[in-house]
Every structure is written in C-alpha cells, then in structure tokens.
Structure 1
Amino acid sequence: MNAHWLGSLAATLTTISFVPQAIRAIRTRETRGISTWMYALFTIGIACWFGYGILLGSWPMIVSNAITFALAATILALKLRYG
C-alpha cells in the first residue's frame, strides 16, 4: 500500500467517524454531553488541516478535512444553539 492510499483510507475512516454524531445531533438536538471547547478547538484545528492540505496540494487531506469541518461545524453550531 503506498502513502497516497494509506492517507486516503485514514482520511475516509476519520471523516466517517463524525457522521453518526452529526446525524444524532441533527435529529435529536441533544448536545448536552458534548464539550463545547473540544468541538470549538477541533473545528479550528480541522480548518488548519484543510489549509495545510491546500498548501501541500493533497486531495485526500483537502476533501476529508472539508467534509469533517462541515460535520464538526454543524455539531458545534447545534451545541451553541441548543446547549
């Protein structure tokens, strides 16, 4: 397995891991068990990884972090709105 495929697999798995939490938060509006600071810092970190991916021209990093950012930002927005 070359580095590109390993990076693609890692990006896919870590991005998919946020889908169940996002779906649950969207459906139930229940976010009490989620740390606001963790999601705020994580979302900022993902934005930085996205920028880094752009600078490197790494499509797996760009695409996965764009999707992960959207999921994390959605969860964070729901947390801020519904507590």
Structure 2
Amino acid sequence: MLWSIVGTLAAICTTIGYIPQIIRGIRTKNLNDVSPMMLTLLLVGCSLWLAYGIHLKDPIIALANGFTLSFVITILLLRAAYKKNNS
C-alpha cells in the first residue's frame, strides 16, 4: 500500500512538471530554449513506458506516461508553431 502511494505521488510530480513549461511557452510564444533532442528522447521514453504500463496492466504507469506523452507532444507542437511564426 505504501509503495502504491509513493508511486502515485512520483507519477503525479513527474507528469505535472511539464505544465509550467507549457504555460510559460504559451505566455511568451517562445520555446526555442527547450531542446528538441530532449523532447524527442522524452517522446520515445514515454511511449515505451506507456506500452510497458499497458502490458503490465498498471494504471499508474500507463496513465502517468499517457499524460506526460501528451504534454511532450504539446510542447513539441507549440515549439514548432512558434518557431514558424517567428521566422
């Protein structure tokens, strides 16, 4: 029981950690300082973690990485859109 709580808290913290970056990017209309290589690695890593969570039928792993994946994709799309608009 204790480790489920620890895992859930860890998943929440690592997932919502992307929200401030998204908010800042929307406000400033600039995400050039976010590394595209880091985002690509996170995209691959979260996709694999999502598949792993689904395979294990572990909702904490699957949901956390599903949400994180959506946040990473959002940052990538915003970065591309703002870069195109600033060109």
TM above 0.5, yes or no, is: yes
Alignment of 1:10-25 (within 5 A): 10-25=10-25
TM-score normalised over the length of structure 1: 0.89
Q: CA RMSD in A?
A: 1.3
Alignment of 1:1-83 (within 5 A): 2-83=2-83
Contact 1:8 1:60 in 2 (8 A): yes
CA shift, 1:73, in A, is: 0.6
Q: Which runs of no fewer than 5 residues in structure 1 stay unpaired?
A: none
CA shift, 1:76, in A, is: 1.1
The structure number with the bigger radius of gyration is 2
Note the alpha carbon deviations across 1:12-31, whole angstroms, 9 max, x for none: 01111111001222333201
SS at match of 1:33: coil
Cα separation, 2, equivalents of 1:78 and 1:40? 14
Tell me which of the two structures has the higher relative contact order, counting C-alpha pairs closer than 8 angstroms and 6 or more residues apart.
1
Number of positions where the alignment pairs a residue of Structure 1 with one of Structure 2: 83
Cα separation, 1, equivalents of 2:41 and 2:27? 24
